Amino acid sequence: MPRPVSMQIIATMRSSFPSKFGIPRQSGLVEELKSTVVFEPEYRNPDALRGIEGFSHLWLIWSFSKAVRSGWSPTVRPPRLGGNTRMGVFATRSPFRPNPIGLSSVKLDRVELHPELGPLLHVSGADLLDGTPIFDIKPYLPYTDAHPNAASGFTAGYQGYHLTVEFPPALLEQVPPEDREALLGVLAQDPRPSYQEDPDRIYGMAFGQLDVKFRVAEGRLTVVAVTQ
């Protein structure tokens, strides 16, 4: 048996997603989403971030803390294939892995030195659940991390979800102005599981302090209610 390797949680993500439903399927899909990386007390040393403001993007290495299972399967059903075709787990980004570790590239907006919480990283485009434990942070290096001609396997040809969003003005007014573009971007990405196509079903999605209900039919998402 391989011996276990211990890892320290260095930070926690604070985002608009208290539950998994609605989180973008990959980082960077909704650039308007704002999140904050809050370091654990023993890692709140500003010296540990010296020079980080010179980088526009960062890699976050984190844990799928809400997707832990006792065992693992060598194959999974990627949503991109409709949830009906099995692929090797190491050929996917499924959260159900031998080690539930995630990797996300995010944009660094600014570094804040908080009087109580120490240094905070304000980032855009993250795909992390609120409260997600973070194991490490590394700078994104475009000269080595970007591969424009890379093959994309079974995801080739995927152009992303582009639903038309109908958000009645009276309901949109219930959303804080600074969160509206992010919420619209999340809805346009189609939060539903890829295998669900019931035009009469009403879905509910938690976003910050709001519960947003909507239905989808013929490529159009219509918001029907927004409540606290």
Domain that includes residue 169, residue range: 159-227
CATH number of the CATH domain containing 30: 2.40.30.70
Contact 21, 103 (CB under 8 A): no
Give per-residue pLDDT as tens, 25-65.
899 999 999 999 999 999 999 999 999 999 999 999 999 87
Helix (H) or strand (E) holding 124: strand 118-124
Residue 86 lies in a domain: no
Do 15 and 55 belong together in one domain?
Answer: yes
| Residue 192, helix vs strand vs coil | coil
Same domain, 56 and 134: yes
The 10s digit of each residue's pLDDT in 204-216 is: 999 999 999 999 9
End position of a domain, from candidates 88, 123, 150:
150
Radius of gyration over alpha carbons of the chain, in Å? Answer: 19
Residues 175 and 196 in one domain: yes
Residues 57 and 125 in one domain: yes
CB 32 within 8 A of CB 182: yes
Task: Write out the two tokens for 216.
Answer: 């989808």
Residue after which a domain boundary falls, among 150, 173, 192: 150
User: Does 198 map to a domain?
Assistant: yes
Is the model's pLDDT at 159 over the cut of 70? no
Among residues 223, 227, 224, which one has the least CA distance to residue 210? Answer: 227
Co-location of 131 and 195 in the same domain: no
Q: Are residues 170 and 220 in the same domain?
A: yes
Average pLDDT, rounded, for the chain: 91
**Residue 20 included in any domain:** yes
* The pLDDT of residue 121: 98
Count of structural domains, the chain: 2
User: Distance of CA 183 to CAs 4, 13, 127, 204, Å?
Assistant: 40, 18, 13, 13
Q: What is the CATH number of the domain that holds 170?
A: 3.30.2310.20
Question: Is 144 in the same domain as 207?
Answer: no
**Segment 56-87, tens digit of pLDDT:** 999 999 998 776 667 788 998 877 676 678 98
Q: What is the mean pLDDT of residues 105-127?
A: 97
Identify whether the C-beta of residue 206 lies closer than 8 Å to the C-beta of residue 149.
no
Q: Which residues contact 21 (CB under 8 A, 6 or more apart)?
A: 191, 203, 204, 205, 206
